[in-house]
Amino acid sequence: MDPVAEIKRIYFSTSKARLLDDLAAAIDLLKSIDSEEERERAAVYMDGLSQMRAEWGLKSAPPARKAKRGR
């Protein structure tokens, strides 16, 4: 599997309902790329996904809170 091709596929096929999950998957794929040249190619699509998130007014889910102990 070519990570850049998969990120490109995600970019062109995502929807508002799936964007946050697709963005998380694209980030995981980006982390798997070793070559700086390949990362630069993927960056164009990652930027586009980020812009979609901003335009559609979506926010990432807040981090899970840890339970307090001792109370």
11 contact partners, CB below 8 Å, separation of at least 6? 26, 45, 48, 49
Question: CA–CA separation, 43 vs 46, rounded Å?
Answer: 5
pLDDT, position 45:
97
Q: Tell me: the pLDDT tens digits for 1-58?
A: 899 999 999 999 999 999 999 999 999 999 999 999 999 999 999 999 999 999 888 7
User: Which residue in 57, 56, 1 sits closest to 28, CA to CA?
Assistant: 1
Query: Dihedral sign, CA of 10, 11, 15, 20?
Result: positive
- The tokens for 49 are 């996904």
Instruction: State how far Cα 29 lies from the chain centre.
Output: 9
